Amino acid sequence: MKRYYKLAMVIGIITLASCEDDLNLTPVGVVTQEQADNTPTLNIIENLTRSSYDLLSNRLNILGNWNWTGGLVFQNDYIMQDIASDDMEKKWNPDGDQPWIDEINNFTFTSENGGPNGLWKYNYEAIKRLNTVIEHLNNPDIETITGITTVRKKQLLGETYFLRSYYYFSLVTNYGDVPLILRPVKTFEEAFEVAVRADKAIVWEQIQADLTLAKDLLPNSKYSSETEKWRVSKGAVIALLAKSHLYNENWSAIPPLVDELAGLGFSLNAHYFDSFRTEFTDNEVIFAFDHQTNATPRRGNGICAPLGWGFFAPSTDFLNAFEPNDPRKSLTVNVVDQNMNKMLGTLNGDNKGNDDAPNNKIYIRFADALLWKAEALLETNDYAGAIEIINQIRNRARTTPSATGVVPPAGTLPDRPTSSDPATIKGWLIAERRVELGFENQRMLDLKRWGIAQQVLTAHGKNFQPKHMLYPIPQSEIDASAGTLTQNDY
């Protein structure tokens, strides 16, 4: 096992594997590196594909054992995108617990901080698993070797291409230039060869190339599987492709892709909160992680545990961003009882403190995609079209009862009027995205891509500097590569 340990020290794409001789035949989703490299079985391919989803989950301790300072207790997206922004605070009652999170909040972090460290390791561990699956599935003899059907092979390939693009999307938007690894790394020498940062333009090209492949491989339906609706669908692929164009300001490509989502059956729910409390029975969720209680292996939403310890609270600025009587405020957070409703998936405090909660983690929903389209229309001078979509989002909000069941009074969230001033419309769009998508890990990335992060966060009292547009590469990875990996401006 020394070979794999050395590889893990070079770059976080290969982790120390178990030395068990046999793969448990139950779908545990854990495969040793030797087993993955050797002649595959259908069981190994299925397990490794499913385990590639796990790095998106909020299950606790996937990559460590209460390694808080290493950022490995849970996915760090709430910390890196919400706490770092002007929307969220670490705790309801500030204390000295987990100071590395405070460093993210006030922008005093270094390249040794657990936030960037954990984000990097989660993403590259997933990419490692996916590259192994993709290599096997692209073997022209795989059907003969494993007995996998052509239909199943195509679906799994579509899923894995999407997932790889999703993890690279996270890497390129947070770190900029990153190593682009598209095959399994099996030797110490290979690890050094790939520990080189690729230009972000090349990474974006690969993201879109993977998504283009995935789109042709997956069924032309809302769900890839009616019995496992959590699996990657064609809609998820189309949505991430649209989002990749958004981040690259390819405005004309976005509206037709969002229209394709509507053609597959995605639409706004009648009730704003339905996406967070239902199990893939709503109209709006495009991609989510399916948390389940009492699953083997564990698959529950562990982020609910620290919510019971006082972690994660709204900033005053976020609460003040809501217009009077906007029901999304009470549906997002219960300030009196200190409940982060959207994170809990409940409106009564259920799941709080539960480290194996059943509520799903939403990654993409149709309201988000509609607002991408609105932004694209605005940038291409279709002001009326942009305003119409913003008003569609506002209409759904004002017709949704609050957390206490009260229907907003007449005059709540009135339609935005006709305007030909792009700055005014952009202000409406920015405001709408903030309250509609609060605590969904969008705010910090939005501020950065709009070029207003320093302005907004400085006004919020944060020490945001131009260098903070990207997070630092983990220092441990720089050191292990003997300088092959270069650092961002830190």
Predicted confidence band of residue 12 (pLDDT cuts 50, 70, 90): low
Chain-wide mean pLDDT for the chain?
92
CA distances from 344 to 276, 285, 300, 301, 383 (A): 8, 16, 12, 9, 37
CA of 372: how far to CAs of 85, 156, 383, 430, 444, in Å? 20, 28, 14, 11, 16
Mean pLDDT over residues 93-110, rounded? 95
Q: Note the CATH number of domain 1-217+451-485.
A: 1.25.40.390
Q: Which of 217-226, 232-241, 247-256, 279-288 bottoms out in mean pLDDT, i.e. has the lowest?
A: 279-288
Q: How far out from the chain centre does Cα 273 lie?
A: 19
Contacts of residue 292, defined as CB under 8 A and 6 or more positions apart, other chains included, come to: 299, 300, 358
pLDDT for 338-385, tens place per residue? 999 999 999 999 999 999 999 999 999 999 999 999 999 999 999 999
The structure tokens listed for 478 are: 């720089």
Q: What is the pLDDT of residue 25?
A: 30
Q: What is the pLDDT of residues 315-328, one digit of tens each?
A: 999 999 999 999 99
Same fold, 1-217+451-485 and 249-439: yes
Neighbours of 463 (CB within 10 A): 10
Distance between CA 90 and CA 83 in Å, rounded? Answer: 6
Q: Model-level pTM?
A: 0.94
Asked whether the predicted pLDDT for residue 4 surpasses 70, the reply is no
Domain spanning 249-439, CATH class: mainly alpha
Kindly state the average pLDDT of the residues 283-305. Answer: 95
Q: Is the pLDDT of residue 334 over 90?
A: yes
pLDDT tens per residue, range 49-101? 999 999 999 999 999 899 999 999 999 999 999 999 999 999 999 898 999 99
What ranges do the domains of the chain cover? 1-217+451-485, 249-439
Cα 311 off chain centre by: 20
